[in-house]
Amino acid sequence: MYPFTYHRPDSVSAAGHIAGDAEAKFLAGGMTLLPTMKQRLAAPGAIVDLNGVPGLAGVSVADGKVTIGAMTRHADVHTSDALRKAIPALADLAGWIGDPMVRHRGTIGGSVANNDPAADYPAACLALGATIVTDRREIAAENFFTGLFDTALEPGEMITQIVFPVPQKAAYQKFRNPASRYAIVGVFVAQAAAGVRVAVTGAGETGVFRVKAFEEALGKDFSAKAIEGIVVAAAGLNSDIHADAVYRAHLINVMARRAVDAAR
């Protein structure tokens, strides 16, 4: 690990000021940042620890929307009674992340900001039409995830909360890596008044993406049978030691059909 300056601000404005004046990284749960620093794959000049900033954690439901603070731990997302009544699929998703240690330290804001191509929350954000709120602006999920480990966040910009519209129906299904629990393929399906959205994680070379063919078919008939014959092209999908692109293409359809059945 390379040397760095450690900061523990006590407000959002102070955190943003420090990050804006230094080559800094925000520290939430540290599930990705700290291992990469230990391996010397990341060398930020400063660490801005958000764990001392009040008001960044918690789940609330009002006016047909769920608001989750960026520093809310995965375990708290999973066990939130308010969330389980409003969007049970999102609460279930959080319970499938990593192991107990990861779920009790990792945060939703950190996961979304990191945008790992196999992370779960990006699929939920995209399928549910979430809004990512920062200390500077509001960003629609459609415009937030821009590529592999890349987002629309500007240097020093910090996620403060994520707002999810409550859908009519939703479900998430994933084919998990047995060791890491990361999604080899994960599919989040959500039905709302505006239509159906289907988001896929774990499969794309550039991260999370939507499947318009599924959405159109499910908009006419929200059943697993409606998408059974739709083939997702293997071109542009990941191939690695866990699954090649052709197998991932097959899994996308399988996980999507399971998600539809679960939502129904």
Domain topology for 59-263: 3.30.465
Tell me, yes or no, if the pTM score tops 0.75. yes
How much is the pLDDT for 1?
87
Q: Where are the domains of the chain?
A: 5-52, 59-263
Q: Label residue 165 by pLDDT band (50, 70, 90).
A: very high
Those residues with Cβ within 8 angstroms of residue 121's Cβ, 6 or more apart along the chain or in another chain = 93, 108, 111, 112
How much is the pLDDT for 164?
98
pLDDT digits (tens, 9 = 90+) for 135-146: 999 999 999 999
Domain topology for 5-52: 3.30.43
The answer to whether 201 touches 123, Cβ cutoff 8 Å, is yes
How much is the pLDDT for 22?
73
How much is the pLDDT for 44?
92
How much is the pLDDT for 140?
98
pLDDT digits (tens, 9 = 90+) for 62-107: 999 999 999 999 999 999 999 999 999 999 999 999 999 999 999 9
pLDDT digits (tens, 9 = 90+) for 227-261: 999 999 999 999 999 999 999 999 999 999 999 99
pLDDT digits (tens, 9 = 90+) for 215-233: 999 999 999 999 999 999 9
Cα–Cα distances in Å, from 27 out to 57, 71, 143?
Answer: 14, 10, 24
pLDDT digits (tens, 9 = 90+) for 18-56: 988 778 999 999 999 999 999 999 999 999 999 999 999
Q: What is the mean pLDDT of residues 163-170?
A: 98
Q: What is the mean pLDDT of residues 2-29?
A: 91
Quick check: 7 pLDDT over 90? yes
Which residue do the tokens 């959080």 mark?
A: 94
pLDDT digits (tens, 9 = 90+) for 175-185: 999 888 899 99
Q: What is the mean pLDDT of residues 146-151?
A: 94
Q: What's the mean pLDDT when you consider all of the chain?
A: 95
Which residue do the tokens 């629309």 mark?
A: 152
The answer to whether 202 touches 183, Cβ cutoff 8 Å, is yes
